[in-house]
Amino acid sequence: EPNLFLINPNGIIFGEDSKLDVGGSFVATTANRIGLGDTGRFSASEPDSSNLLNINPDVFFFNRLSNQAEIVNRSTATIPALGFFINELPITDESGLQVLEGKSLLLVGGNVSLNGGALLAPGGRVELGGLSEPGTVELNTNGNNLSLNFPDDVTKANVLLDGAFIGTQAGEGGSIVINAQMVDMLGGSFLFAGIEQGNGSVDSQAGDIEINAKGKVNVSESSFILNVVSGIGNSGDIEINAKDTVTVSESSFIANTVLANGQGTAGDIKITTDSLEVTNDATLFTTLLGEGNAGGVKIIASNTVRFEGVGSAVLSGVDSEAIGNGGEIEIITGSLEVTNGAVLNSVTGGEGNAGDVKIIATDTVRFDGVGNNGVGGILSSVSSTGVGDGGEIEITTGSLEVTNGASLNTSTLGQGNAGGVKIRATDTVRFDGVGSNGNSSSIISAVSSAAIGDSGEIEITTNSLEVTNGAVINTNIFGRGNTGGVKIRATDMVRIDGVGNNGIVSRVLNSVGRGGVGNGGDIEITTGSLEVTNGAVLFANIFGEGSAGSVRITVSDTVYLDGFSGTPSGILSLVGTEAVGDGGEIEITTGSLKVTNSALLNANTFGRGNAGGVKITATDTVRFDGVGSNGLPSGAFSSVQSGAVGNGGDLEITTASLEITNGAQLSASTFGEGNAGGVRITATDTVRFDGVGGNGLTSGAFSSVEQEAVGNGGNLEITTGSLEVANGAQLSTSTLGQGNAGGVKITARDRIRFDGVGNNRQPSGAFSRVLSEAVGNGGDLEITTTNSSLEVTNGAQLSASTLGEGNAGDVRITATDTVRFDGVGRDDVSSGVFSQVNEGAVGDGGEIDITTGSLEVTNGAQLSSNTFGEGNAGDVRITATDKVRFDGVGSNSFSSVASSQVGTEAVGDGGNIEITTGSLEVTNGAFLSNSTLGEGDAGNVRITATDTVSFDGVGSNGFSSGTLSQVNQGAVGDGGLIQITAGSLLLTDAFISSVSEGNGKAGNISIDTRQNLETNRSSIQTTTLSGDGGNINLWVGGLLLLHNNSQIATTAGIAGAGGDGGDIIINADFVVAVPGEDSDISANAFNGRGGNITITTQGIFGLQFRDRLTPLSDITASSEFGLDGEFQLNLLSPVDVTQGLSELPADTVTSELNQSCQAGGSQSAGSFINTGRGGLPPDPTEPLGSSDLWEDVQLPKKTSTDTTNLPTTNSGKLIEAQGWIVNQTGQIELVAKLPATASQWGCSLR
């Protein structure tokens, strides 16, 4: 079976009917001569000198070339027995030049052209090539198998295939090799290798198709390069190496496949070039339609790779009936472009895994646009018939752009996991816009509705990332499986912005979709700065069954959420309406966070499951500001929505400083069945809530149980350096449903300030509310400032109230320095603390408890605990180590007060007012008040002051300062006790009053002072309209002084009705009044019995007991129509009873003084006789009534005086008192023992 060599240096042309009939291989060449190994050479141009006795060629010499020195094959001769088949259909019935199976067919020219011709070498080798300049081509011989070896340093000739067919398919083997400067495949040319149908075995290996070009390779006009396994065995590789460009276009394809009846592994497609272009419906694909594995596609292009247009693609696939794995698609290049509907596609539809798609581009990767088929980008999928895992998409580049609807998509529609997407870009990654089909530019990893498997993880590592104008990054499941996570790491910034023209917001999404069963993955972003703006969102949700993923953000600089475009910008975690499962957490760790213009952080549940929480940690500042054009506030929100069953998540903020301004809000609420989350703020520096938004909504932090909800509200907890809540901002917990409201707990190292009323007429403050129709208790307000003060000013309020069925919360304030409540705000709203049971409510009011260094309540501010419903009002309890001051009247004409009231329709007792302090001042119309207008007793007022209690002055509203306990007209109940314990008590134009205008008793008044009790134009009184008067008990350690029409009175039945006058009990050193100033002590009644008056004292001055009141200073215990009361005076002896008591003798002596009793003298001499007014000696147990009883005839001591010495007599034994002195008030007192040093105005008695 000799080989045939056809040599013609001038060129060779095979006509259409040319045939080969050789037993060996065939070589056609335009070489000048052939090397014959060691035996010599054969020269076609000098045949006479050549040796042809033993031909064993090993090299072709090309010494000179002409334009005509080419090989042209036009042969289409038919040999039907050697037909080539795909899926049992013949490829062609034109066989052209053909050698026997296993033999070689080589064309070595200059240029080689196959113009419609065919070359066939079943199981053998077809090799084409040539040189365009002098050189040598080596011939390798292995029996009948011949191959060529072209030099690298010689310019090659071109190879043209136009309508040509080259085939080597057989049971095994069969290679096609082309070596040229440029290779063109046109006109439906076909390179065909592989294992033919019905042939081969498991060990069979088909040959490769190899094209090597120094310049370009062009495969166009529906030309094909195909390596196929139709039988049993493995196909070879397809390898193209081009120094310049490889172009595949115009519906051409390069394919390596195992067909439906085949069994084996397909080979790879390998392209190495400077640049590659695949356009106009051209395709590179490796597929598995039978049993085995598909091959990979590997492209190495030092410059660019470009896929353009619909149908232009790289495909690695496992068909629906196939069993085996898909091959990998790998592209290594400078830059890659996939545009206008072109795709890189790895899919499995049978039993097996899809291959990965790996891209490495040193410069850029760009996916742009979609075609009329709606596709563009990279697709890695498990189709609906597939059983296996999808492949990974991995891109490593300088920068990546996915725009105008292009997509990187890994999904599973069958049984298996979707692949992940990993992107590494040293510069930028950008997803932007919407395609012509309305689809967003995207990364998607999905599990479809009928699929079983997990979606893949999306990982992006870059310098900066932009997702804009409706682009999306999305992992989701609609079938059974878990979603993958989204991990983004960008050293510089991440920006997500805007809404596409399809109405889809730019977003990063992780979702368990409706019908899905599985858990969502996390969204994790680590970057320098993050911007989510103009309606864009980061979104983790669940609409199926499972748990939603979390959103975790770590940013070294700033997180900025801003704006609205159809929907607010923000970060969202959601449990959907029909979902069963928990929402994910939102966690942000950053330098600073800014959320503005209706942007939000939102964790909600609408289904059966708990909402996620929001956790923010910022080393610098956190700021929520403003309201968007949609009227929605910026903020952080956690809610259990209507119809939901589950608990809300907590909002936690840890930062240096926090600002919530211009209508922005932090809100944790429940509208369904479950507890609302809490709000916890920790700020080392400052927290500020300020202002009202353009929508009229208040800035603040809120926790609420909404109408028809069943569950408890969460707590608001703030720990900070200083806190400011101003201009209508509020901290509020409330319940409108069935459940308890949360508490508000504030702890500040320095100052806490609540100030003003907003332009929506809402006061700044902290509030705990049980609202109308609610069933539950209000939460407590606890405010602690450890080193500084609390200020509540200009209409700001601290309030705990109930309008529903439940108790109002307590208000507890602890401030080491001062607490100040001052002034009135817009719409005459008073500053203050309020605890209230409102009309229609059933429940008790809460306590107001203030512990501080000093307390000021001024200019109309109020501390008020009231009940207007069915329940008791709470107590007001003040403990101040230094002082407490209530002062003045506000611009609304309301006095500064501490009050507790039982309202008109209320059923319940008033609360107590308890003040414990160093000193108390109630001035300029301020007062303390306990009253009842409904059905219940008024509360008590208890004041304990180590120093002075002072009530002083009349306010601009005409009200005097004082303390009042009142049962109003129509009320059913008793007045409360007023109890004052102090060092001293001063009243000027003031009152201490217990009044009953209803049927109940007036409350008692009890006063205990270590020193004086002084009244000036003031009163201490209990009064009733028809009931019994209250009692007044005064224990005065010093002087009780009544001045300028001051009154101490208990009066009963002033309406002419019954009621006994209350009793008055006074214990004082002295009781003093000016006789003509009409200062009275009275216990009077109208129809009832007058009250009793008991005074225990050392002396009463200026007051006289009378049966009726007169214009003078009186003591009366009378009744207009009933029995008078009794007056009992218990005079205390001023002497020491241990010294013995003796009556003075009645004998008079001369009024001349003994020498020893001169002023200043202390000698033992003289005697003293007092006969009293009536000439009888007074009882020694009676005090001196007044200075009028004493005639002081002693002259002041002089340094020298003329005296007459009178005879003296020894007095003998001691009698009566031992001496007398003049005290500080000028009164003379007899004493049991004279001080060691007598005063200038003292004298011993003898």
The torsion angles phi and psi of 794, rounded to 5 degrees, stand at 55, 45
Residue 264: partners with Cβ closer than 8 Å, 6 or more residues away: 195, 200, 202, 204, 229, 232, 233, 234, 235, 258, 290, 291, 292
3-state SS, residue 1076? helix
Q: What percentage of the chain exceeds 90 in pLDDT?
A: 55
What pLDDT, on a 0 to 100 scale, did the predictor assign at position 141?
Answer: 85
**Per-residue pLDDT at 1171 exceeds 50:** no
* Tokens 């008991």, located at residue: 1094
- pLDDT for res 1181: 44
Q: Residue 31: is it exposed, middle or buried by C-beta count within 10 angstroms (0-12/13-18/19+)?
A: buried
Written as one string, the DSSP assignment of 310-378 is TT-EEEEEE-TT-BSPPPPEEEEEEEEEEETT-EEEEEE-SBSPPPPEEEEEEEEEEEE---TTS--EE
Nearest to 397 by CA among 344, 341, 356, 359: 359
| Mean pLDDT computed over every residue of the chain | 86
pLDDT at residue 462 greater than cutoff 90? yes
Q: What is the pLDDT, as a whole number, of residue 371?
A: 82
Topology adopted by domain 1-261: Pectate Lyase C-like (2.160.20)
Nearest to 513 by CA among 442, 609, 578: 578
Give how far Cα 1032 sits from Cα of 88, 489, 540, 1022, Å. 121, 79, 70, 7
pLDDT at 936: 87
Half-sphere exposure of 733 (CA within 13 A, CB side): 32
Q: How many CB atoms lie within 10 A of CB 638?
A: 33
| Residue 1246 pLDDT | 37
Instruction: Give the pLDDT band of residue 1224 (cuts 50, 70, 90).
Output: low
CB 821 within 8 A of CB 754: no
C-alpha distances out from residue 167 to 196, 373, 942, Å: 11, 34, 113
Tokens at 940, concatenated:
């008590």
Give the per-residue pLDDT at 1056: 65
Q: Give the whole-angstrom CA distance, residue 206 versus residue 193.
A: 7
Residues 6+ apart with CB under 8 A from 344: 307, 313, 314, 329, 331, 338, 357, 359, 377, 378, 379
Indicate if the pLDDT at residue 569 is higher than 80. Answer: yes
> Average pLDDT in the 347-361 region?
92
1135 pLDDT higher than 50: no
**Span 804-849, pLDDT tens digits:** 898 888 999 999 999 999 999 988 999 999 988 888 888 888 899 9
**Percentage, residues of the chain above pLDDT 70:** 87
Q: Are 872 and 901 in contact (CB under 8 A)?
A: no
Closest C-alpha among 120, 104, 102, 141 to residue 25: 104
Q: Which pLDDT score is estimated for 81? A: 38
pLDDT digit string, tens, across residues 576-634: 888 899 989 999 999 999 999 999 999 998 999 898 899 999 999 999 999 988 889 99
Joined tokens for residue 129: 């090539």
| Tokens (6 digits) for 777 | 């208790």
Q: CA 419 to CA 483: how far, in whole Å?
A: 11
DSSP conformation letters of 1139-1182: G---PPPS----SPPPGGGSTT---S--------TTSSPPPTTS
Q: Quickly state the pLDDT bin for 566 (edges 50, 70, 90).
A: confident
State the residue for tokens 């339609």: 289
The band of 1209, judged by pLDDT with boundaries at 50, 70 and 90, is very low
Per-residue pLDDT, 1139: 43
Provide mean pLDDT across the span 968-987: 90
Q: What is the pLDDT of residues 232-288, one digit of tens each?
A: 999 899 999 999 999 999 999 999 999 988 899 999 999 999 999 999 999 999 988
Write down the domain spans for the chain. 1-261, 268-456, 1004-1132, 1136-1246
Q: What is the pLDDT of residue 689?
A: 97
